[in-house]
Amino acid sequence: MSTLRTILFFSLFSSTAMAQNRPRPNLDSLRAAYYNKKFTHADTLRGSNDPERSWWDIQRYDITVKPDFPTKTTVGNDLITYKVVSEKQPAMQIDLQAPLHIDSIVYDGNKHLAFTQEGNAWHVQTPKQKLGSTGRVQVYFSGTPTEAVRPPWNGGWTWATDSLGRPWMTVTCQGLGASVWYPCKDYQGDEPDKGASMTMIVPDTLVGVSNGRMQFKKDNGDGTTTYKWAVVNPISNYCLIPYIGKYVTFHEDFQGEKGHLDLDYWVLDYNLSRAKDYLPTQVHNMLHAHEHWMGPYPFYEDSYKLVDVQHTGMEHQSAVAYGNHYAFGYRGRGDKWGMLYDFIIIHESGHEWFGNNLTTKDLADMWVHEGFTNYSETLFVDYMWGKEAGNEYNHDTRRSIRNDRPIIARYNVNEEGSGDMYPKAGNMLQAIRHTLDDDEKWRQILRGLQSSFYHQTVTSAQVEHYVTEHAGIDLTKLFDQYLRTTQIPDFEYYFSPDHKKVFYRWSNCIEGFNFPLTLKNDQAKLRIYPTKEWKNAELKGDEAALFDSTAIDKMYYIGIKPRS
């Protein structure tokens, strides 16, 4: 999930009355603000794979952090292992956001490096290194990190207390960036190929939990305990997260599509009983449904965990943050199908496939994370309660689509597109499914994305090309229309006087828009290929009944304009 979660909340779980009573945004103002936005050099440093980033490829992060709850400060270091992939080696850009600061940087364990600061970018003078060689820099940092005022929508450290008044700490940082709390190459397109570790030095009354599997626990004899966790798979910077509190755990063995999967639940001690009663069934349902549609859980080696949090939740890889109050819907609120399952478990776990397995190189392409994961909810409802239930659920998500700006944002400046990347992209994907009218083919496309781009960073263009190629239908203009414009195409049609012939076309769309429609009911099925020019088709039997505005609307997010 991202900072756009509030949009998602209203998309699915506000009542109709709430939606109607919300003030409508001024779309002209929103669009003007978007198109008139001026980007700075800092935006480019943050969002692009510039020369000071592109010559080195991240292999591994080994992070150590010691938070101090009373002062809300941290001290730590990050051992960054990288591979040299270019002969051209300007300074190394490492990112760390103020008010944290870098204290020192050590190369290969013995050489202190000089560095300068430019805002949140730190330019490090490294020695010349051989192409293909491996280097290591250990970055020591300290300070008072940004505090998350309203997590997870607002990033940074959370310094809170549980319901018994005991310290509880964590971080949320998607969008804002992992450099808000530790030094890294804060570029989404470069993940540590050989995994990462998280070492937390915490008060000995608390427990530290993080991604992957626990490596060790050590009593330091000074009132603190050290916990070390590690993942062996590539992982996004923003998914590496410490959780520190009065945690206890319980374990399950799950037989998944790839065999044995360890399921672990880390919950605050007073939640243990209800967690045992509630969480396993929800997680089992999720895994069965998601593996059916999208393929095996992508991180068997690192296990699957839910970790109790006080914010709503986030998709932290193999350590999914869970804060849904052990209730169906969204913290006990929702409509019809949404009230039959735990939204946070289904959505945030869906990101293990789209977001964590397939990660976009640029923040501009985040629809691949959010659109497919929004769509995973539809697939879950479909798996549990049938296709019509899934269709209805998907259709209902349209309520918050605003068409305020394009879903795909501008590249190389760390910019997210419209919040429509959730429901609008989810409806676009369901439209592809409907026009294919072949659920097994559609299932294999979703699974194929996971296997073909397994543990990779990708672009929207790669995903679009894959779906188009394997669908066997030219979807290029569909993606351009829904992802890169705010126009919703209108389907216009009318009949001959005897209803033996239908005339149809697309309007309010980009040049070349040619998305085919499959129209069907219990008695008939017809595929038509509208363009911007009027076309016609001879109708047989009851095929005229297929041109029912209500039925078409349930399948496709389009304007429907029947002519008399």
- What domain range is 541 assigned to? 490-562
Among 180, 171, 200, residue whose Cα is nearest residue 76: 200
| 301 in the same domain as 178 | yes
Q: What is the reported pLDDT for 1?
A: 53
Which of the four pLDDT bands, split at 50, 70 and 90, describes residue 142? Answer: very high
Is residue 288 situated within a structural domain? yes
**HSE toward the beta carbon, residue 168, CA cutoff 13 A:** 17
| 374 in the same domain as 258 | no
Q: Are 137 and 91 in contact (CB under 8 A)?
A: no
| 207 in the same domain as 109 | yes
Distances 324 to 58, 211, 314, 327 between C-alpha atoms, Å: 34, 20, 11, 6
- Dihedral, CA atoms, 216, 218, 223, 229, nearest 10 degrees? -20
Is residue 478 situated within a structural domain? yes
pLDDT in tens, 327-337: 999 998 888 99
Is 302's pLDDT higher than 70?
Answer: yes
| 355 in the same domain as 311 | no
Is residue 178 situated within a structural domain? yes
| 362 in the same domain as 467 | yes
CATH number, domain containing residue 368: 1.10.390.10
| 508 in the same domain as 472 | no
pLDDT in tens, 499-539: 999 999 999 999 999 999 999 999 999 999 999 999 999 99
Strand order from edge to edge, sheet including 313-314? 247-256, 259-268, 304-308, 320-322, 313-314
Kind and range of the H or E run holding 520? strand 517-520
| 267 in the same domain as 151 | yes
- Given the structure tokens 């309010």, which residue do they identify? 508
- In eight-state DSSP terms, residue 163 is T
Among 308, 438, 423, residue whose Cα is nearest residue 377: 423
How far, in Å, CA of 498 to CA of 247, rounded? 72
Indicate the residue among 436, 458, 484 that finishes a domain.
Answer: 484
Q: What is the reported pLDDT for 102?
A: 98
Is residue 446 situated within a structural domain? yes
| 529 in the same domain as 409 | no
Indicate the residue among 465, 484, 503 that finishes a domain.
Answer: 484
Indicate the residue among 320, 354, 376 that finishes a domain.
Answer: 320
Is residue 337 situated within a structural domain? no
pLDDT in tens, 26-53: 777 777 777 788 899 999 999 999 999 9
Task: Give the total number of structural domains in the chain.
Answer: 3
Q: What is the reported pLDDT for 255?
A: 98
Q: Are 37 and 384 in contact (CB under 8 A)?
A: no
| 134 in the same domain as 275 | yes
Q: What mean pLDDT is predicted for residues 146-150?
A: 95
Query: 376: which residues sit within 8 A by CB, 6+ positions away?
Result: 290, 293, 294, 346, 347, 350, 353, 354
Query: Greater confidence, 92 or 30?
Result: 92
pLDDT in tens, 253-296: 999 999 999 999 999 999 999 999 999 999 999 999 999 999 99
- Given the structure tokens 């294919």, which residue do they identify? 436
Q: Where are the beta strands (DSSP E) in 299-432?
A: 304-308, 313-314, 320-322, 358-360
Is residue 129 situated within a structural domain? yes
How far, in Å, CA of 55 to CA of 66, rounded? 31
Q: Are 245 and 167 in contact (CB under 8 A)?
A: yes
Is residue 52 situated within a structural domain? no
Q: What is the reported pLDDT for 36?
A: 81
pLDDT in tens, 351-376: 999 999 999 999 999 999 999 999 99
Please state, rounded to an integer, the average pLDDT across all residues of the chain: 94
How far, in Å, CA of 322 to CA of 315, rounded? 9
> How many Å is the Cα radius of gyration of the chain?
25
| 103 in the same domain as 170 | yes
Which of the four pLDDT bands, split at 50, 70 and 90, describes residue 25? Answer: low
The first and second tokens of residue 292, run together, are 């059916």
